[in-house]
Amino acid sequence: MAAAAAPAPAARRGTLVCASLMARSSREMAAEVAAAAALGADAAELQVGCINGFQPRRDLPVLLAQPRPLPVIVTYRPKWEGGQYEGEDEPRFEVLLLAMELGAEYVDIELKVADKFLNFLSGRKPEACKLIVSFHNYEYTPSVDELLSLVDQIQATGADIVKIATSATEIDDVSRMFQVLVHCQAKQVPIIGLVMKERGFISQVLCAKYGGYLTFASLEKGKESAPGQPTVADLINKYNIRQIGPDTKVIGIIGNPVSHSKSLTVQNQAFRSVGFNGVFLPFLSDDLVKFLKTFSSPEYVGFSCTMPHKETAVRCCDYLDPIARDIGAINTIVRRPDGKLAGYNTDYTGAISAIEDAIRASQPIDPTTSPLARRLFVVIGAGGAAKAVAYGAKEKGARVVIANRTFARAQELARLIGGTALTMAELESYHPEDGMILANATSVGMYPNVNGTPLSKEALGNYSIVFDAVFVPKETRLLREAAECGIKVVNGLEMLARLVVVQFEFFTGGMPAPQRLIRDAIMTNTQ
C-alpha cells in the first residue's frame, strides 16, 4: 500500500489538547474530528475499536482521508488493557501498520506488546509517524520509583512518546505523576502522564505546567473515554490551558464536593481579565491536612476551603486573621512568600455586607453605623457558615439568636458569641419584636434537595429581611416563600459575589478585583 502524504504533526505549542473519540461509525468519528478542530483541539485520538463492525480497509481510509482537520492518534486497544479488541495481536498490528501507511501522525501501542509490535513492523514504520508506547493502571497510581522504572521500560522499546495513565484513589496521587513529568522534562523525554478518575482531574490541566506532551479531553460531557476527563471546551476556555506554563500559579477550591463551585469559572475568568498568570482548580479532597502537606510547593499560592474543611483549616494555618480565629472557621488560605499559611474568613464579610447593602438600599441609614446595630438577628445553623454569619452580625452590634436542629450545638455557638439559643420548634413561633433579620446558614434547600426549607412559611412573616447562604438554586424555597410573604430577601449569590472578590485579592497578592466581571459571572453563570 502506498503511503499517503502525511501532514506533519502539529507544531508543538505547549501541551497538546487531544480529543479522545469513541464514535460508533467511521463517518461519525470523522465528523467528531472536525468538531474537535472547531473547538480548538490540537489532535484527535481515534479509538477505532469502538467502531461497530470495524473493517480496517473500509473505515481507516474514511478516518484518515486527506485533508484532515487535525493530526490523529490511532489507538486499537485490546480488552486486556481496558479496550474493546478481543482477537490475536497480529491482526491488530496489521491495522496499526495500515493506519501508519495511511498517514496517521501517531499510533499507540501498549507497553506489554511494544517489542513484539516493533518486531512485526521490522522497519516499516514511516518516519513521520510517532509511536506512543502506553501503560495504563485502572486501579491506582504506583510509587514514583515504579513510575520512573516504567518510563525507562517504555523508553527502552524505542518509543517516540511515553504514555502513562494511572488512576487516582485520592488527589494526592497526582503529585507523584507531576514528579515524573518534571523528571522527564529535565531529561527531555516526551511524556503523556495523566491520572484518571475524578480525583485525578487536576492532572489533565496541570500537565501543561509540568511539560506534559499532550492531555486528553472529551468532545462533550458524557463522551469521556476515561473517567474524570475534562471537555475540550473546558480545558481551553474555562481553565485557559493555553496560558498555563512553568510559572503559572496554582489556586483552587478544596472540599468535597467541589465540581459545582462557581468559583471555578469565575476566578479563572477574573484571572484572565487582569492578566494574572494563575489557574483555579477543583481540589476534590477528604483530607485537608494531607492535601496541604502534599501540595506544599511555593507555586500553590492559595486555597478556597469549602465543606467539610472550613473548621479543620483553622488548625492548618500558621497565622490566623483575628476574626477568623474567633469564628473558628476559615474559607481562604494564602501561602505567604515565606511558605507559611495564613487563614481568613471571607464568608463573614460576604454575608454581612450583602445583608447590610440590602438594608441600606431600601432605607436611608446613617452611613457611619451598621444597619445591623441593635437588630435582632436570627441565625439557623451552628456549623462553619453559621459561626461566620453569627460573629459577623455580633461584631456589627446585632443581638444574635442561634437556632439549630441539634440544640446543644446552638447553645454552644450562642455561648461562644454571647447570644441566645433556640430549638427549631421554638423558632416556629418566635416573634419578640418586629424588624427581625433571619439568616439560613445550613445547607437545607440546597440542590438537589430543593424542596427543603429550614422554617415554615407561616413563621417567615415575623421577619423583615431573610437571607439564605445557599446559592444553588439562587432562589431557594425559603427565599421564594419569604418573597411571597412580601419580605425583603437576600440570596446567597450576593454573598458569593462579595466573598469571591475578597478571595481574588488574596490569591493574586492584592491585584484589584474586576468586581463587575465577577458579579456578572456569578449572577449569570449556571456553573
Ligand X SMILES: O=C1C[C@@](O)(C(=O)O)C[C@@H](O)[C@@H]1O
Q: Which residues bind ligand X (CB under 6 A)?
A: 253, 261-263, 304-306, 331, 347, 496, 499
Buried b / exposed e over 302-315, threshold 16 CB at 10 Å, is bbbbbeebbbbbbe
The CB-side HSE value for 98 (13 A sphere, CA atoms) comes to: 19
SS3 of 240-276: the string is CHHHCCCCCEEEEEEECCCCCCCHHHHHHHHHHHHCC
Question: Is 187 in the active site?
Answer: no
Cβ neighbors of 18 (< 8 A, separation 6 or more) are 41, 42, 43, 44, 45, 73, 214, 215, 216, 217
Residue 515 CA to residue 520 CA, distance in Å, equals: 8
Least distance between ligand X and beta carbon 275 (Å): 22
Query: Is 347 among the residues known to form the active site?
Result: yes
Catalytic: which of 42, 234, 347, 468? 347
Catalytic residue, chosen from 310, 387, 394, 396, is: 310
CB nearer to ligand X: pick between 276 and 348: 348
Q: Which is nearer to ligand X, 132 or 499 (CB)?
A: 499
Residue type at 51? I
Closest CA to 114 of 135, 128, 129: 135
User: C-beta of 304: minimal distance to ligand X in Å?
Assistant: 4
Cβ at position 315, least distance to ligand X in Å: 17
Please tell me which residue in 125, 130, 163, 197 is annotated as part of the active site: 163
Q: Which CB, 50 or 496, lies closer to ligand X?
A: 496
Residue pointed to by grid coordinates 493574586: 508
- Identity of the residue, 112 or 325, whose beta carbon is nearer to ligand X in the bound complex: 325
| Least spacing, CB of residue 519 vs ligand X, in Å | 14
Q: 3-state DSSP call for residue 114?
A: helix
**Minimum distance from CB of 449 to ligand X (Å)?**
17
Q: Following DSSP, what letter does each residue of 369-403 receive, concatenated?
A: S-TTTT-EEEEE--SHHHHHHHHHHHHTTPEEEEE
Residue 166 or 261: which CB sits closer to ligand X? 261
310 is catalytic: yes
Residue 183 annotated among the catalytic residues of the structure: no
* Residue 267 beta carbon to ligand X: minimum distance, rounded to whole angstroms: 8
Q: Are 303 and 254 within 8 A, CB to CB?
A: yes
Which lies closer to ligand X via its Cβ, residue 113 or residue 324? 324
Angle between helices 111-121 and 144-156 (to 10 degrees): 10
Length of the chain, in residues: 527
Provide the annotated active-site residues: 136, 163, 310, 347
